[in-house]
């Protein structure tokens, strides 16, 4: 027992097995039962040993030893993390409770209440869990049993933390910590430190959280308690990941993984893989996305093998998130949806409303990226309904933000503002600066107030040292000033965003900054600089194998290269007498309004009335055009939907005439069917004798 309590499991098992062997030889059922109970550390065989202990206790009508296996069976089924198993755990705890009450055994009665509290907390029935913990606390105080009193305070801390009652949770953990220190119970002291770290982490207070995790880690190392040491490393990994210190986060997750593997603790091993996946995923690099997916798949494999439906659901959720974020790179929308739906199915089966809500939010996010806004709104509304029912303000705010984004992208601006303002209201109440920033960023649809909101978001992000949202705010400020035609200021903000993105090696935001800079330089008629920015974006897109961004950058470069070609360098044979003034104007137009010049198979044309030289009743128009070879052309524009067959017939007729060499015959050069989705273009010689 001493070795087990000191986490020296292998030594403990050896002694329990020796005790069992001797007890069987002596036919000492009392000691045989205790030995069976001691061998419970291996969960796969725990049930067998507890049931053997229970059978002997019933035969001997020893209710004290009968209560103990009931409590043990409850603990084993509770640790199995499946909804059906939770029901079985509750049944055993209630049987133990009934016997303990009948025998007025307050020690076992308190243990049963504590066990029921844990089961209901893990099953997200927080008020019921709190009720049982409070009953355990009352008895423990009456008996002056400080060990169980501390356990009850820790349980109340856990339940209130899970129910987002952070201040109440802190109060209970501090009560537990005080008693544990007084009793010099380092195991419970560590648990209290870790609990305080977790609640401060959830309340976005990273520095106190780090302090408590480090205190817990120090004691765990001193005691050689590897289970709590691993928990501390996992907590520190989460905190440094949330604080955008990815390398430090990975280091802590890897330390936790190493210990968990060594201890063959598959629960913590799975948690470590999930944490590593999170750290690699939020690092926003293509290579790390692949590593994240590998970590998540390892976590999923272990969870399935252990039939741990809770961690299996978590793995499906994060795989969905990874594939959703990776969607633009590899069109993995369907894979993301598949994982979210699998997580939703298990969550519903387990009646885990927290994970059910998370799955609905994930599905909303996935369909939003795919621009299926009605489906998006449906999923966010389902998430919102459950979050409101559970009074989970974090998920409620997330749902409002998602609905705001969906309505904004679907041009339902008034609805979007309403949702963002509701999200902002709750975020301010909860002092959740992350969600407050997101709400400010969402409210940018009113251009006259966009700058104010982006500046507020930027201030919060800088205070929190959240470089991801700081970059987003700079990009937003750039957009706002660009829309207001203040191009120089827009460029300054985009460059600040680019600088941070480069420092963080965030390829996604770096690409966005280059594309935005390209766009604003283009609007400011700085075509060569715009091309350089688009080339940088194209280079990153190639590296990431991102075809979508690559196409955007490539098309912009092609168009700008054409526009940037100086009209002074255009050749012109100056043969036309009738349309000389139109060609002079076309050259000037190329200087003043280069974006208005269209290139059709090497012929520059502007489809404006200043350059019109003929029109037909079917919507056809003829404009002057100047070939890159310097020769004048006539460019006939035909509506695609009405004139495709006419254009083809005209092309055939002109092809026949091309064989006739005469100054009085129009030569056909080309039928362009690619450069415009609405029109076809016939390129003809400009033969003034026939016009």
Confidence at residue 455, expressed as pLDDT on a 0 to 100 scale = 82
Confidence at residue 375, expressed as pLDDT on a 0 to 100 scale = 93
How far apart are the C-alpha atoms of 396 and 354, rounded to whole Å? 11
Confidence at residue 681, expressed as pLDDT on a 0 to 100 scale = 85
Q: What share of the chain is helix, strand, coil (3-state, %, to 5)?
A: 80, 5, 15
Q: Would you say residue 179 lies in a domain?
A: yes
Q: What is the domain count for the chain?
A: 5
How far apart are the C-alpha atoms of 33 and 28, rounded to whole Å? 9
Q: Is the pLDDT of residue 518 over 60?
A: yes
Q: 274 vs 393, which has greater pLDDT?
A: 274
Contacts of 616 (CB under 8 A, 6+ apart): none
Q: Residue 643 is part of a domain; what is its CATH number?
A: 3.30.200.20
Residue whose entry in the numeric block shows the structure tokens 């507890």:
50
How far apart are the C-alpha atoms of 389 and 55, rounded to whole Å? 44
Radius of gyration of the chain (CA): 35
How far apart are the C-alpha atoms of 435 and 179, rounded to whole Å? 36
Confidence at residue 150, expressed as pLDDT on a 0 to 100 scale = 96
Nearest to 604 by CA among 613, 614, 595: 595
Percent of the chain with pLDDT over 90: 34
Q: What beta strand segments (E) does 365-493 contain? A: none
Indicate whether 547 and 620 sit together in one domain. Answer: no
Report the 10 Å Cβ neighbour count for 172. Answer: 26
Indicate whether 440 and 453 sit together in one domain. Answer: no
- Mean pLDDT for all residues in the chain: 81
Indicate whether 194 and 216 sit together in one domain. Answer: yes
Confidence at residue 353, expressed as pLDDT on a 0 to 100 scale = 87
How far apart are the C-alpha atoms of 432 and 70, rounded to whole Å? 43
Indicate whether 165 and 134 sit together in one domain. Answer: yes
Report the 10 Å Cβ neighbour count for 333. Answer: 18
Confidence at residue 157, expressed as pLDDT on a 0 to 100 scale = 96
How far apart are the C-alpha atoms of 400 and 379, rounded to whole Å? 12
At 99, list the tokens: 């016997």
Q: Among 148-152, 505-509, 519-523, 569-573, which is the least confidently predicted range?
A: 569-573
Residue finishing a domain among 565, 591, 616: 565
How far apart are the C-alpha atoms of 369 and 67, rounded to whole Å? 55
Confidence at residue 603, expressed as pLDDT on a 0 to 100 scale = 86
Indicate whether 623 and 677 sit together in one domain. Answer: yes
Mean pLDDT of 366-389: 91
Q: Is the pLDDT of residue 490 over 60?
A: yes
Confidence at residue 46, expressed as pLDDT on a 0 to 100 scale = 61
DSSP summary character for residue 444 = G
Q: Would you say residue 110 lies in a domain?
A: no
Q: Kindly indicate the confidence band of residue 642, based on its pLDDT and cuts at 50, 70 and 90.
A: low
* 3-state secondary structure at position 571: coil
How far apart are the C-alpha atoms of 95 and 533, rounded to whole Å? 71
Q: b/e per residue, 141-152, with b = 16+ CB within 10 A?
A: eeeebbebbbbb
Confidence at residue 25, expressed as pLDDT on a 0 to 100 scale = 62
Q: Would you say residue 308 lies in a domain?
A: no
Residue finishing a domain among 411, 444, 477: 444
Indicate whether 552 and 456 sit together in one domain. Answer: yes
Report the 10 Å Cβ neighbour count for 675. Answer: 12
Q: Is the pLDDT of residue 659 over 70?
A: no
Q: Would you say residue 626 lies in a domain?
A: yes
Contact, 337 vs 371, CB < 8 A? no
**Tens digit of pLDDT for each residue in 420-430?**
999 989 988 87
The phi and psi torsions of 579 (rounded to 5 degrees) equal -115, 20
At 288, list the tokens: 């790390």
Give 100-141 as a 3 state SS string: HHHCCCHHHHHHHHHHHHHHHHHCCCHHHHHHHHHHHHHHHH
Contact, 603 vs 633, CB < 8 A? yes
Indicate whether 536 and 584 sit together in one domain. Answer: no
Confidence at residue 205, expressed as pLDDT on a 0 to 100 scale = 83
Confidence at residue 156, expressed as pLDDT on a 0 to 100 scale = 97
Q: Would you say residue 478 lies in a domain?
A: yes
Q: Kindly indicate the confidence band of residue 663, based on its pLDDT and cuts at 50, 70 and 90.
A: very low
Vertex 387: Cα angle to 385 and 390 (nearest 5): 110
Confidence at residue 22, expressed as pLDDT on a 0 to 100 scale = 63
Mean pLDDT of 177-206: 93
Confidence at residue 629, expressed as pLDDT on a 0 to 100 scale = 80
Contacts of 220 (CB under 8 A, 6+ apart): 190, 226, 228, 229, 231, 232
* 3-state secondary structure at position 525: coil
Q: Is the pLDDT of residue 244 over 80?
A: no
Indicate whether 552 and 584 sit together in one domain. Answer: no
Count Cβ atoms within 10 A of the Cβ of residue 248 and give its class: 0-12 exposed, 13-18 middle, 19 or more buried: middle
Q: Is the pLDDT of residue 226 over 60?
A: yes
- What is the DSSP track for 236-257? HHHHHHHTT-HHHHHHHHHHHH
Confidence at residue 432, expressed as pLDDT on a 0 to 100 scale = 73
Confidence at residue 673, expressed as pLDDT on a 0 to 100 scale = 57
Q: Is the pLDDT of residue 166 over 80?
A: yes
Indicate whether 584 and 629 sit together in one domain. Answer: yes
- What is the Cα 451 distance to its own chain's centre? 26
How far apart are the C-alpha atoms of 552 and 518, rounded to whole Å? 11
Count CA atoms closer than 13 A to 453's CA, side-chain side.
24
How far apart are the C-alpha atoms of 514 and 535, rounded to whole Å? 9
Q: Residue 488 is part of a domain; what is its CATH number?
A: 1.25.40.10
Q: b/e per residue, 398-427, with b = 16+ CB within 10 A?
A: bbbbbbbbbbbebebeebbbebbebbbebb
Indicate whether 493 and 555 sit together in one domain. Answer: yes
Confidence at residue 289, expressed as pLDDT on a 0 to 100 scale = 76
Mean pLDDT of 671-685: 71
**Tens digit of pLDDT for each residue in 24-63?**
565 544 444 455 545 444 555 666 666 666 677 676 666 6
How far apart are the C-alpha atoms of 374 and 340, rounded to whole Å? 18
Indicate whether 435 and 540 sit together in one domain. Answer: no
Mean pLDDT of 507-518: 90
Q: 132 vs 681, which has greater pLDDT?
A: 132
Contact, 203 vs 173, CB < 8 A? no
Q: Would you say residue 585 lies in a domain?
A: yes
Q: Is the pLDDT of residue 181 over 80?
A: yes
Q: Is the pLDDT of residue 307 over 60?
A: yes
DSSP summary character for residue 262 = H
Percent of the chain with pLDDT over 70: 77
Mean pLDDT of 511-531: 88
Residue finishing a domain among 415, 444, 473: 444
How far apart are the C-alpha atoms of 215 and 350, rounded to whole Å? 35
Confidence at residue 662, expressed as pLDDT on a 0 to 100 scale = 46
**Tens digit of pLDDT for each residue in 582-621?**
998 888 887 777 777 887 877 888 988 889 998 887 788 9
Q: Among 115-119, 201-205, 216-220, which is the least confidently predicted range?
A: 201-205
Q: Among 247-251, 346-350, 457-461, which is the least confidently predicted range?
A: 457-461
Indicate whether 617 and 524 sit together in one domain. Answer: no
Confidence at residue 577, expressed as pLDDT on a 0 to 100 scale = 86
Phi-psi region of 623 (alpha: psi -120 to 50; beta: other; left: phi over 0): beta
* 3-state secondary structure at position 671: strand
Structural domain for 270, as ranges: 225-294
Confidence at residue 688, expressed as pLDDT on a 0 to 100 scale = 66
Q: 502 vs 596, which has greater pLDDT?
A: 502
Helices (H) and strands (E) in the chain, counts: 32, 7
How far apart are the C-alpha atoms of 683 and 679, rounded to whole Å? 13
Q: Would you say residue 153 lies in a domain?
A: yes
Mean pLDDT of 478-486: 78
Q: What beta strand segments (E) does 314-397 contain? A: none
Nearest to 84 by CA among 125, 47, 119: 119
Q: Would you say residue 75 lies in a domain?
A: no
């Amino acid at each position: 027992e001493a070795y087990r309590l000191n986490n020296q499991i292998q030594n403990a098992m050896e002694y329990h097995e020796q005790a069992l062997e001797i007890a069987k030889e002596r036919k000492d059922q009392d000691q045989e039962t205790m030995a069976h109970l001691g061998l419970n550390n291996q969960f796969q065989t725990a049930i067998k040993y507890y049931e053997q202990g229970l059978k002997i206790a019933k035969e001997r009508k020893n209710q004290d030893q009968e209560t103990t296996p009931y409590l043990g069976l409850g603990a084993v089924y509770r640790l199995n993390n499946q909804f059906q198993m939770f029901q079985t755990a509750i049944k055993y705890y209630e049987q133990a409770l009934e016997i303990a009450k009948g025998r007025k055994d307050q020690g076992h009665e308190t243990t049963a209440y504590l066990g029921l509290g844990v089961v209901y907390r893990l099953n997200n029935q927080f008020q019921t869990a709190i009720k049982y913990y409070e009953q355990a606390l009352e008895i423990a105080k009456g008996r002056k049993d400080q060990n169980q009193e501390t356990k009850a305070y820790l349980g109340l801390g856990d339940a209130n933390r899970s129910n987002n009652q952070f201040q109440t949770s802190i109060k209970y953990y501090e009560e537990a910590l005080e008693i544990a220190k007084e009793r010099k119970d380092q195991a419970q002291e560590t648990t209290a430190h870790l609990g305080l770290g977790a609640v401060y982490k959830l309340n976005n207070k990273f520095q106190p959280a780090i302090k408590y995790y480090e205190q817990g880690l120090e004691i765990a190392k001193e005691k050689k308690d590897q289970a709590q040491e691993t928990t501390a490393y996992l907590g520190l990994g989460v905190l440094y990941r949330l604080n955008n210190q990815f390398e430090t986060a990975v280091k802590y997750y890897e330390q936790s993984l190493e210990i968990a593997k060594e201890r063959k603790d598959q629960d913590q091993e799975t948690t470590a893989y999930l944490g590593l996946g999170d750290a690699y995923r939020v690092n926003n690099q293509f290579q790390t996305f692949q590593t994240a997916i590998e970590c998540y798949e390892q976590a999923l494999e272990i969870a399935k093998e252990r039939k741990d439906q809770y961690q299996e659901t978590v793995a499906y959720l994060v795989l969905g998130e990874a594939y959703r974020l990776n969607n633009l790179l590899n069109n993995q929308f369907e894979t993301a949806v598949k994982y979210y739906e699998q997580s939703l199915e298990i969550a519903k089966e387990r009646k885990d409303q927290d994970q059910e809500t998370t799955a609905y939010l994930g599905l909303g996010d996935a369909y939003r990226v795919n621009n299926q806004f009605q489906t998006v709104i449906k999923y966010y509304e389902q998430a919102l309904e459950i979050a409101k029912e559970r009074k989970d303000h974090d998920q409620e705010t997330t749902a409002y933000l998602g609905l705001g984004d969906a309505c904004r992208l679907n041009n339902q601006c008034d609805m979007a503002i309403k949702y963002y303002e509701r999200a902002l209201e709750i975020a301010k109440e909860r002092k959740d600066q992350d969600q407050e920033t997101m709400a400010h960023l969402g409210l940018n649809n009113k251009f006259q107030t966009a700058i104010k909101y982006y500046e507020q978001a930027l201030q919060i992000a800088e205070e929190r040292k959240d470089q991801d949202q700081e970059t987003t705010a700079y990009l937003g400020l750039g957009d706002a000033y660009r829309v207001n035609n203040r191009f120089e200021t827009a460029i300054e903000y985009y460059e600040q965003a680019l600088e941070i993105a480069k420092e963080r090696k965030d390829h996604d935001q770096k690409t966005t900054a280059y594309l935005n800079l390209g766009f604003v330089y283009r609007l400011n008629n700085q075509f060569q600089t715009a091309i350089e920015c688009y080339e940088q974006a194209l280079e990153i897109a190639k590296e990431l194998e991102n075809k979508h961004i690559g196409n955007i950058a490539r098309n912009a470069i092609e168009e700008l290269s054409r526009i940037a070609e100086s009209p002074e360098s255009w050749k012109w044979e100056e043969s036309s007498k009738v349309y000389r003034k139109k060609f002079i104007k076309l050259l000037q137009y190329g200087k003043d309004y280069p974006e208005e010049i269209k290139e059709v198979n090497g012929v520059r044309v502007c489809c404006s009335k200043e350059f019109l030289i003929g029109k037909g009743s079917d919507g056809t128009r003829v404009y002057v055009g100047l070939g890159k070879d310097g020769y004048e052309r006539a460019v006939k524009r035909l509506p695609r939907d009405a004139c495709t067959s006419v254009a083809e017939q005209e092309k055939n007729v002109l092809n026949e005439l091309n064989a006739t060499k005469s100054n009085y015959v129009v030569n056909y050069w080309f039928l362009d069917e690619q450069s415009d989705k609405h029109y076809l273009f016939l390129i003809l010689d400009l033969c003034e004798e026939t016009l």
